[in-house]
Amino acid sequence: MRSTYTILADDSAIEKPLLDDRSYRFIKLDSNDLHVLLISDPTTDRSAASLDVHVGSFADKEYTIPGLAHFCEHLLFMGTGKYPEENEYSSYLSKHSGHSNAYTAAEHTNYFFEVSSDYLEGALDRFAQFFIDPLFSKSCKDREIRAVDSENKKNLQNDMWRFYQLDKSTSNPKHPYNGFSTGNYHTLHEEPESRGLNVRDVLLEFYKEHYSSNLMSLVVLGKDSLDDLTLWAITKFSDVANSNLPRPSYHGELIYAPENMGKLLKAKPIMDTNKLELTFMIPDDQEHNWDKRPGSYYSHLIGHESKGSILYYLQKKNWVNELSAGNMKVCDGCSLFSMELDLTPSGFDHWEEIVVHVFEYLKMLQSQDPPYWLWKELSDMSKINFRFKQKERTSNTVSKLSSSLFKFKEDFYIPPERLLNCTVLREFDPEEIKKYGAHLNPSSLRISLSSQRLNNLPNKERWYGTEYSYEEIPPNLMNAIRNASVNEELHLPAPNKFIPEDFTVKGEKLEKALPHPWLITDTPKFEIWYKQDDRFRIPKGSISLVVHTPPLADSIETSVLGLLLGELMDDEFNEMNYFADLVGLSFHLSQFRDSFTIKASGYNDKLPAFLDEVLRKFINFTPKSDRFDSIKYKVAQELKNSGYDVPYAQIGTHFLQLLNEKTYPDPEKLKVLEKVKFEDVLQFTEEKLWSRGVFIQGLIHGNFEYSTAAKVSQSLQDAFKDRQTIAPTKEEVDSIVKFQSVHLEVGENVRYELPLQDPSNVNSCLEYFVQVGKVQKENSRLRVLTDLLATMLHEPCFNQLRTKEQLGYVVFSGYRSSRSYFGLRILVQSERPCDYLQYRVENFLKMFKRKKLGSSLTDEVFAKYKQSLRNMKLAKLKNLGEETSLYWNAINNGFYDFEQKANDVQILESVTPQELVQFFNDYFDVDEATKSARLTVCLNSRKKSVFDEKKNFITAVHNYIYEHNIPISTEAVDKIVEQKGLDFNAVANIIFNADMKENLDQHAFITEMEQRTKSPTPALYPKGKLEENTYNFKEAHPRGGVPKPVNPLSKYYYPHEEAHL
């Protein structure tokens, strides 16, 4: 085996984190120059692989077909010579608890999957064929063009995509950065066709000319030995063709030509935002500076949020709420350094002054030598973070590594032994830092300003339709920034007092980790849980608190006041929290319903002291008027803009607002917010917020001994001493801590419809929910059956509704719960109207019953689905954060079911195919279910669907073929329609061949096709009683009841005599 590969770095040479127990081998296959990193992790239950091809959307330019590389990524999934079924790969992964994805970047395309470890070899065999013998099937071509088009339309109203494309469209037209990378129906079908091009033929040429093994990097992670993984890499990937292609290079042109610099770009956003962006073009010198990374020095300081920083200075003027800064590599040879500032209305009025102040800050940085102590803070933290880096999701690991593996090849600049830690800052080079900083100058500057206050903009961007103007930066502004002087209020930050020093790991590792935390304090006002890290053994921890204050839940008015209070607190704590965040102490404060949630996590050395400081500020917080208007504006923007988010991201909120108590629509909260004055917030804080006492739940988890956890618990009780003269009653705690959901009666079918706020969004979205039962211990078996059915539905649902029917780019299904009830949902975002989507979802459920729950559901097939769910339930926790989330969710939901997954697996063992089929019939059969309720939530586009008889006819025929398993290519149907138009008899003649005549009625087919052509949706849709008022709906339905612990909490009392129990 050794003769077929060359080792570039073995396990002993590769630098690894302290806790990394994996083995590594970096090799090159001698047969085709494919570079492969193999990772053996005997403890993993999830294996993964990723292959990165060093070609991306920049290559589109030479073919003059925007989106070609992205289209190639899509079509590569649609079958291979060895595995011709278009969903074979996804079906195999789905049956074995797996998933896959891919993305196309500017210079590379990345493919990856994750699967249960026992099935890695089979997945690798299917995966390898993408790069050996893809079919690029003609029958899939048109459907995947539609899929790309749908993906593009998903982003048309997204400001991030719009402004990114606007920047590209106003860049150097000779550089491929100027292109449109996603593609759409016009670029991939209409325009090539008008030039006499067959896009599939061009795609085959693209694949042949760019998909060469010497431009690929493969990473495989599994539980198997390095020798076994190496053998699989050789046997499965040696046939990937090597054309010895040169690596694409784009050095010839700058992304911004001289005439593109010194420009002011003004644009109108979809959302109500005011943003200012300063962008500098930087020569990329990573080859010589990978271990120095001088750009990180400027990212750190310009993005700093402490006193003396540019953000702190501008916030005091109430001109800016947020600032972000960083370096983005565009391609070899060129990077962009950008600063984005979120402006207040006053900041928008003073945007030119803000630009001058930014250059004052840059002047301060450039006029002094970089101090070693500041660089050392960055370097020390980069080393600490690498040393104690934890495992993450295996698919994330392989995807990241494969995308950067080219840097470590023999002819590149980073030693292969550094492939895991090339981001560590190793060398202080003040001259390189100053050299980098010198590029942040007016001659390298572009300014972008966006606001809905910008009107009469003369231009429209070609691909997204963004309104914009493009002009020279005003001469007076350019002169001001060239002559910017040092501002005495702008200076370097103070040394960081939160840098950890003690990394001692407490306690001993147990043979088997404890499956639950201990309850160490249980009083009428405090419920504090604790678990020492006995699984990962790292010097980290977390402290999570929910401070319940009943007045917050009294009304929509108090809910809005609480929302404002949370944002004002977060703003007040920002400087301290930013220092903590820089050294691995993450802090998060949020307000929701009746409570404030406080979470602090990271290196445990300074964590308790940090939390003490936070709590002192929190408990004694008094709102200040100086930042009130800016924070109120920020909250108003968030409430207003939520309705302009992509529909599939909004629909879950509307679902929960309909079913859950104490939830209010954002437009109604916005109306209340508009009337709120500073005095209202101040009065509420001083007179009502703490007036009915507090109830606090907490979890202390990680590298803490019991004595430390007990001190934290006691300090909490001491800190809140003045706020707990009254304890909430048990009834009040139950009603506010454990909010309930409304109960849909069995047999009820409800439809809730809303128009999208964004009048230009072409997509509608539907969530189809089947309520199965109440979330309680007695319904555990029903919940497991729902989970199992969701596992079985997942791939067929995506394959039918997304891949075959092309309803839209966004299709998914799965288990779904409100606070009190659970069930299963199917979600589709589409240009089609919601009544049609409801029709196709219900039709899919009928097809699923007919095709998947009949004779094809053998014991062997059923066992694979059960095994897939079992593997997901028993999946090992990857890091301390995942374990914290598991326990915290169990505490927060009121069930305290810490061992639910293990119990679910026991139930799963006894589930039979017959029971599953009966369960489907009882709850999910569209026509005959007798035990469930249904809720359909619709977000309707205001854009009218274009009526297209030809499209309707083709879609109806395709669906008929899928539904009746007719062995004919849909491409044959498309060809007939192209030749003869809406000739129902001609299409019927090719469908109703001799094999089908006995089973199907040709006359009935023609009648149905005529109906579906004129009206794609049957007359009985949409189904369900229409509900228009959420409050009336909630009032008319009973509540589901308060969650109850699955076990007495005394079961979890900490066995220590000093515990407060």
Residue 280: closest CA among 352, 328, 321: 328
Residue 197: closest CA among 207, 184, 187: 187
Q: Residue 303 CA to chain centroid, in angstroms?
A: 23
In single-letter form, the type of residue at position 186 comes to: H
Residue 220: closest CA among 206, 200, 234: 234
Provide φ and ψ at 417, rounded to 5°: -70, -10
Provide φ and ψ at 596, rounded to 5°: -110, 130
As given in the structure block, the two tokens for residue 661 are 């108590």
Give the CA-trace dihedral at 264, 267, 271, 275, to 10 degrees.
10
As given in the structure block, the two tokens for residue 383 are 């080393």
Tokens 């139930």 sit at which residue? 907
**Which whole-number Å values give the CA distances from 511 to 514, 899, 1053, in the listed order?**
9, 18, 22
Q: Are 758 and 643 in contact (CB under 8 A)?
A: yes
Q: Are 655 and 821 in contact (CB under 8 A)?
A: no
Mention every residue, 6+ apart, whose C-beta is less than 8 A from residue 384: 500, 503, 584, 603
Residue 406: closest CA among 280, 279, 247, 550: 247
List, in sequence order, every beta strand (DSSP E) within 344-414: none
62 given a catalytic annotation:
no
Residue 581: closest CA among 514, 506, 508, 498: 498
**Which whole-number Å values give the CA distances from 343 to 166, 321, 351, 482, 487, in the listed order?**
20, 6, 8, 23, 21
Catalytic annotation, pick one of 73, 107, 305, 795: 73
Q: What is the DSSP string of 41-95?
A: -TT-SEEEEEEEES--GGGHHHHT-TTHHHHHHHHTTS-BSSS-STTHHHHHHHH
Q: Are 272 and 345 in contact (CB under 8 A)?
A: no
Residue 783: closest CA among 913, 862, 893, 873: 873
Helices marked H in 244-306: 286-289, 294-302
Q: How many CA atoms lie within 13 A of 665 on its CB side?
A: 14
Give the CA-trace dihedral at 683, 547, 634, 362, to 10 degrees.
110
List, in sequence order, every beta strand (DSSP E) within 851-941: 933-940
775 DSSP 8-state letter? S
The bridge status of strand 263-267 relative to strand 467-472 is antiparallel
Q: How many CA atoms lie within 13 A of 183 on its CB side?
A: 32
Q: Are 277 and 264 in contact (CB under 8 A)?
A: no
In single-letter form, the type of residue at position 259 comes to: E
Residue 279: closest CA among 493, 77, 440, 499: 440
CA distance 168 to 510: 55
- In this structure, the number of other CB atoms found within 10 A of the CB of residue 614 comes to 21
CA distance 516 to 969: 55
- Looking at the annotation, which residues are catalytic? 73
